[in-house]
Amino acid sequence: MSNVIYQAQPPLEFIPPALNPLFLRVFDLVLPNWINWQTAITQIEADNVEVLVDLYRQFQEGKIRFMLAFRHPKTDDPLCLGYLLSQLVPRVAREQGTVLKSPIHAHFIYDRGIPLWAGSYVGWVASRLGGTPIQRGKADWTGLRSARDLFANGKFPMAAAPEGATNGLSEIISPLEPGIAQLGFWCAEDLHKAERSEQVLIVPVGIKYSYVAAPWDAIAELLSELEAASGLTVNPGGQANAASMELLYPRLLTLAEHLLSLMEKFYTKFYHQKLPDSQDISKGINDRNEALAVRLQALLNVALQISEQYFDLQPKGNLSDRCRRVEQAGWNYIFREDFKDVKGLSAVEKALGDRVAEEANARMWHMRLVESFVAVSGNYIREKPTVERFAETTLILWQMIAKIRSSKAFRRPQLGKQRVKITIGEPISISERYPVYKESRLGARQAVADLTNDLQQAMEGLIFRNL
């Protein structure tokens, strides 16, 4: 993460979308090679692409506006979506004899915080590709107005991840944020006011990763590294008989229990927090997985409370909601309205601001730890013991240890070559729901809630379709 986080700064500036057709063309040309070079992905295929071809045809004919609501388990997801639009959709359109105007692309919404940890160039690239940023933890009216305008008037359809952030798990969807549904109704409202006849749709898109060959040896080696880092007796990862689910799963459970014990001691001793006694939990719950789940939830709650207490926040909502509020509170301490004119500040004022920024960033660290585990349960592997679920869980533990050891951003280890399956779901009509939305405030809230729930079920259905 950039050192700028440790210093008080002026407020985060909005990065306006500035689509550059030439840059987009170059991006689309280099994307396949970039994916091969920078990721473990060797193959991307998609189901129901013909649905998307027809949607783009209708969009280009001025009949519809639509948003792609895609799953977001990994940071590679936007690259996969870009490949779908720039490579697979045109290919299927040619095979069908459907004439589409080039380029096939989508405006998209991204988290304004990404350029802070990934590098400012990411914001520049996203802007030139027609992306618009939003600050997730507050009512970012500038960002919302931009996304709203692009949805109703942009040259291309929209794309967004309704989960709001990655969760590292291909087969569990985090609770969806209602903002995507709200944008859909705003689009319908804007079209209605402008007396435009386009229908508004939201299209669920599933993204599923799988390994070309089961990377048990690589998982065993990574487990050995994590065991060494956490102070456990190291099991040799290179032994052939170690690379199996039967022998690796007890090691993973032992590692998870040990890390939990270390973190429980950390928060009880140095932050004076009360946590359930692990031995008492083990006595009451015989199943190791269930005991882990209970301990983990208690720990995550305490870790978030450390951040919330510092920022004077009440613990409302689920873990994801609480993380977003802590994040925004931290940004408010670091990117300050009263620091717009930094040159006008005295040396003492600047130093005090830096002290606050440093402390805010330190308190946000607890939230970042929780962020990695918002979708983790104790039964993910046991419910379906696949190498993919095992690898994802191991990588989440790796991410936890990486965050404990350093504040710098790390790239996750690549355990093996992967293939990606993208599934296009059936479009959900927002226009058909708009009459209920416009009836009253209560009707609007209910319409947004119902659409969010229906979208969640549709996206979960895409996962099960690929199982």
- In tens, the pLDDT along 165-203 reads 888 899 999 899 999 999 999 999 999 999 999 999 999
pLDDT at 236: 61
Given a cut of 70, is residue 40 above it in pLDDT?
yes
Per-residue pLDDT, averaged over 114-134, amounts to 91
Residue 6 inside a domain? The answer is no
pLDDT band with cut points at 50, 70 and 90 for residue 243:
low
Q: pLDDT for 9-38, tens place per residue? A: 999 899 999 999 999 999 999 999 999 999
- Could you read off the pLDDT of 245-280 as tens digits, one per residue? 888 999 999 999 999 999 999 999 999 999 888 777
What percent of the chain is predicted at pLDDT more than 70?
Answer: 96
How high is the pLDDT of residue 137? 74
> Residue 310: which domain range?
216-405
Contact 211, 387 (CB under 8 A): yes
- Whole-angstrom Cα distance, residue 6 to residue 355? 8
* Greatest distance between any 2 Cα atoms in the chain: 70
Q: Which of 292, 425, 278, 407 is nearest to 6 (CA)?
A: 407
Residues 371, 429 within the same domain: no
Please determine, for residue 381, whether its predicted confidence score (pLDDT) is greater than 70: yes
Cα-based torsion angle of the residue sequence 202, 131, 129, 1 in order, rounded to the nearest 10 degrees? -130
CATH number of the domain enclosing 100: 3.40.1130.10
In this structure, which amino acid lies at residue 66? F
The dihedrals phi and psi of 90, each to the nearest 5 degrees, come to -60, -35
Cα angle 76-53-466, degrees, rounded to a multiple of 5: 50
Q: What is the pLDDT of residues 441-451, one digit of tens each?
A: 898 999 999 99
| Per-residue DSSP letter, 343 | G
- Residue 25 and residue 74 in one domain: yes
Q: pLDDT category, 217, cuts 50, 70, 90?
A: very high
Average pLDDT over residues 399-420: 84
286 and 183 in a common domain: no
Tokens of 29: 């040309």
Q: What are phi and psi of 285, to 5 degrees?
A: -125, 110
- Tell whether 151 and 17 lie within a shared domain: yes
Written as one letter, the residue type at 116 is L
Lowest mean pLDDT among 125-134, 209-218, 238-247, 329-338: 238-247
* Residue 72: other Cβ atoms inside 10 A: 20
Please tell me the predicted confidence (pLDDT) of residue 466: 53
Boundary of a domain, candidates 356, 380, 405: 405
Please give the Cα distance from 25 to 32 (Å, whole number).
13
Residue 238 is predicted with a pLDDT of 47
Total count of domains within the chain:
2
Residue 424's contacts (CB-CB under 8 Å, 6 or more residues apart) are 46, 47, 48, 49, 51, 52, 203, 205
Q: Are 86 and 31 in contact (CB under 8 A)?
A: yes
Q: Is this prediction's pTM over 0.85?
A: yes
Which of 383, 405, 427 finishes a domain?
Answer: 405
| 6: confidence class by pLDDT, cuts 50, 70, 90 | confident
